[in-house]
Every structure is written in structure tokens, then in C-alpha cells.
Amino acid sequence: MVKTNRANFGSKLGIILASAGSAVGLGNIWRFPYETGNHGGAAFILIYLGCIILLGLPIMISEFLIGRRSQANAGRSYSILKPGTQWKWVGRIGVLASFLILSYYSVVAGWTLEYTLQAATNSFAGKSANDFIVSFQLFSGNPWRPLIWLTVFLLATHFIIVKGVEKGIEKSSKMMMPALFILLLILVVYSVTLPGAEKGIAFLLKPDFSKVNGEVFLGAMGQAFFSLSLGMGCLSTYASYFGKHTDLARTAFSVGIIDTVIAILAGFIIFPAAFAVGIQPDAGPSLIFITLPNVFQQAFGEVPALAFIFSVMFYILLAVAAITSTISLHEVATAYLHEQFKMTRGKAAKFVTGGCIFLGIFCSLSLGTTKEYTLFGMGLFDLFDFVTTKIMLPLGGLLISIFTGWVLDKKIVKGEITNDGTLKGVIYPYLIFILKYIAPVAISFIFINELGFLK
């Protein structure tokens, strides 16, 4: 292991919660429910769990061992492990991807603050289903309001990042991740006790394998991949702050369990409530900002106080999940600038925050005021989303599996997995087999499917 004076996480709990916070985000509470709804419920979840174990965890362990072994930011780690080769571009792609994702992700993250405010001021009360559609369209198309929330969200992220690894990232994760989990549990109890909620529970627990096809498998693999934040440099950057005694495999399993439990709990919030009021489970991406406010009002219409409490808590939950991810995305680019260009941490963070606000403004405007201006037929928001999630991340994950399985010295891989022989490393042969043969093929299918070639 390379010896440096870099900052480290202060505790095992901090490592797990910070890494879980990187993985947990809008993908769990926004994307997972509508993917589950679109692909038939329980059957999709079972396949998704298989993909987490077979694909997600091995790639996560790979990112962990690359980060800890190199003790460097994502953009430099491959140059240290394989100097003088073109593998350096894998890390740089991850840094660029995290920066671009942070730019447009913060637009949606800002929406969670707007909806938290609307819920807190009881603005949902008395609205019809059509009112919620119009309200969302007016807000997302407004030239100023989304920009304010975008800036507020990025400044909050910036404040945490400049505090450093232990006092900023770790400390905030120790506060926010337990809070997120408690909010989830409270909302689950509310949702599953609604009259008619049993249909939503059955949707999540009783698999209908007649709906399973190739698209469901590919959708589950894609969701597992993106849910765990693989291929964007977040996990390898965080792992560079791990101590030499951290059990990488156990940490990966802990993060995978937390990430999956939170996603499934989100399903137990959304689907029982939706079925209770007759809303179809395949409402798609509009589920969170258009469908759910309507669900809350209908489900708790007879008790307005409950509708108010449920709405406020849910959007606070969404905002907390979003910021745990923006922190990790910000850290990837900040660490790269800080170490690669010898900037102070504060100056590096200012460049990242300023750049993301600048690009985020254009991403936000592309959904409203400037939506008629397109590139390759897409506005800037959709273009950034397409380039990162459908090209850069699958490509990054594919190259990470090949790098660890085929290129990196197996003594290094085994040494990191076993902490230089102090751990048994039972999973090592299975990990290498998966990284060599299974993960590259599976990720290639995701890649090809996401680009639309299998349709």
C-alpha cells in the first residue's frame, strides 16, 4: 500500500455510513420505485437482488481496493497502479462523470427543497391531480426559482466538503444516514397501515414471473449498477481514505445491504400508498413530484394533519438522500483538483461548486426557458444524463472489472482483499472469476441495451 499523509475516516462506522451515503440517493427513493413499478414488482426485486450480489458487490470491492491501494484520488489512482499506461483515463472519466452528474443532479436535488417548502407551507392541500401536473410544469419551467434552489443545494454541499473528510463528510454521514433511516421507517409504518395498502404490499412481496423477460433482467442490472454509484469515482475516492485494517469485502456487503434495504423501504412507502388510492404503480419518473403529492392528499384526505406530516417528512427524506450523494460526487472532483493541481481544499471546492452552479443553470433552463435549444436532439439536462448514465458509467464499470480481473497484479488484489494475509479472503477466487468473465459480459449487455441497440 502506498504511504501518504492523506486524511482518513476516523471510524469503521464512519466508513460504512459515508460509503452508504454515496450509494444512497435519488436512485433509491426515486428511480428504484418506478423501475420496480414498470417491471412488475416482486419478480423485478428478486432479480435486482441477484444483480447486486453477482455484479454490484464485485465492482464495488474493485473500486474499494483500487482506491485504498493507490491512496489517491480517482483521477490519479490508475496511474499509480499501472504507471505509463492509458488506464489513467478510466479514473479521469470517473472524475468528469461525477462533475457532470453533480451539475444536473443538483437541479433535481433542488426540486426536493422546493417540494419540502411546499409541503411545509401546506401548499398541497385541496389540489386536484391536474393541479399537481400544472404546478410542477410551472415550477420546473420557471427561469429563476429552480436556479435558487440549485444554488442553495450546492452551497450546502460545499459547506460540508470544505470541512474535510472526518469533520465534514464523515460527521455529516453519521447524522444524516441514521436520520434518513428513521424517517423511512416512520413513513413505512404510515403507508402500510392505510386501508387498501395490502395490494401494494402484495405487489412488492408476491413475484409474478410471467412478466419476466430480457428487458426486466437488463433493467434490474442497470438499476443495481447505478444505485450503488459504480463507475463514477465516488467509491474509489472514499476508499482512498480507508485505513489499512478496513475489511473491504465486509464494508462492501454492509453498503450493499444498506443501499438495498433503503430502496425496498422506499417501495413500501410508495406502493401501499399508491394502491390505497388506486394509482397505478408504473407512473414513471413523475411518481415523486406529481403523483405522490396527489397520493398523500387522497390517502390522508380525511385527516389533513396526517397528509401534512407525511408530505413534509417524505420530501425531507428525499432531500437528505440527495445531499448524501451530492457530497460524494463533489468530493471526487474536489479531491482531484486538490491533489493533482496542489490547490488548497477550499479553493478546489470553490472551483467545483462554481463550475457546477454554472453548468447547472444551463441544465435547469434547458427544461424550461431554453428547451427549444437542443444538441443531438436533446436539451443540456437530458444530454448530460444520457452521456453520463448511458455511456460513461457503464463504460467505466466495464473497464474497472477488466482492470481488476485481467490487468492488476493478482498479488495486489489478494493482498487488499485479505489485508496482507490477516483476513481469510474466502471470496477471492469467486471475485476474480466474476470480474474476469461474468461482470464484463453483463455490463456489456447493460451498455448495449441502454444505447437502444437491443430494442
pLDDT in tens, 185-238: 998 998 898 888 899 899 898 888 887 887 788 778 878 887 888 888 999 999
The answer to whether 380 touches 360, Cβ cutoff 8 Å, is no
Domain-embedded: residue 3: no
82 pLDDT above the threshold of 70: yes
The domain that holds 117 is classified in CATH as 1.10.4160
227 vs 328: which has the higher pLDDT: 328
Provide the pLDDT confidence category of residue 285 given band limits of 50, 70 and 90: low
Domain-embedded: residue 319: yes
83 pLDDT above the threshold of 80: yes
Domain-embedded: residue 46: yes
The answer to whether 226 touches 27, Cβ cutoff 8 Å, is yes
Provide the pLDDT confidence category of residue 442 given band limits of 50, 70 and 90: confident
Domain-embedded: residue 420: yes
12 pLDDT above the threshold of 80: yes
- Please give the average per-residue pLDDT across 240-264, as a whole number: 93
Domain-embedded: residue 348: yes
| pLDDT of 217 | 84
When divided into structural domains, the chain yields a total of: 1
| pLDDT of 3 | 45
Amino acid at 14: G
Segment holding 42, helix H or strand E: helix 42-51
Q: 184: domain range?
A: 12-450
| pLDDT of 1 | 47
Rounded to the nearest integer, the mean pLDDT of the chain is 89
Domain-embedded: residue 5: no
Domain-embedded: residue 56: yes
| pLDDT of 455 | 58
Highest mean pLDDT: which range of 110-114, 292-296, 297-301: 110-114
119-144 residue pLDDT tens: 999 999 888 878 888 898 899 888 89
The answer to whether 248 touches 86, Cβ cutoff 8 Å, is no
| pLDDT of 278 | 78
Minimal CA–CA distance to 319: which of 71, 16, 2, 29? 29
Spell out the long-range contacts of 127-133 with Cβ–Cβ below 8 A and sequence spacing 24 or more.
127/293, 127/294, 127/297, 128/294, 129/294, 132/290, 132/291, 132/293, 132/294, 133/290
Domain-embedded: residue 1: no
| pLDDT of 366 | 93
Distance, in Å, from the CA atom of 365 to the CA atom of 116, rounded to the nearest integer, reads 21
389-413 residue pLDDT tens: 888 888 898 999 999 999 999 999 9
Provide the pLDDT confidence category of residue 281 given band limits of 50, 70 and 90: low
450 pLDDT above the threshold of 80: no
The answer to whether 79 touches 88, Cβ cutoff 8 Å, is yes
pTM of the model: 0.91
| pLDDT of 239 | 94
Distance, in Å, from the CA atom of 25 to the CA atom of 29, rounded to the nearest integer, reads 7
307 pLDDT above the threshold of 50: yes
Give the 3-state secondary structure percentages of the chain, helix then strand then coil, rounded to 5.
Answer: 75, 0, 25
- Please give the average per-residue pLDDT across 137-156, as a whole number: 93
- Please give the average per-residue pLDDT across 160-176, as a whole number: 90
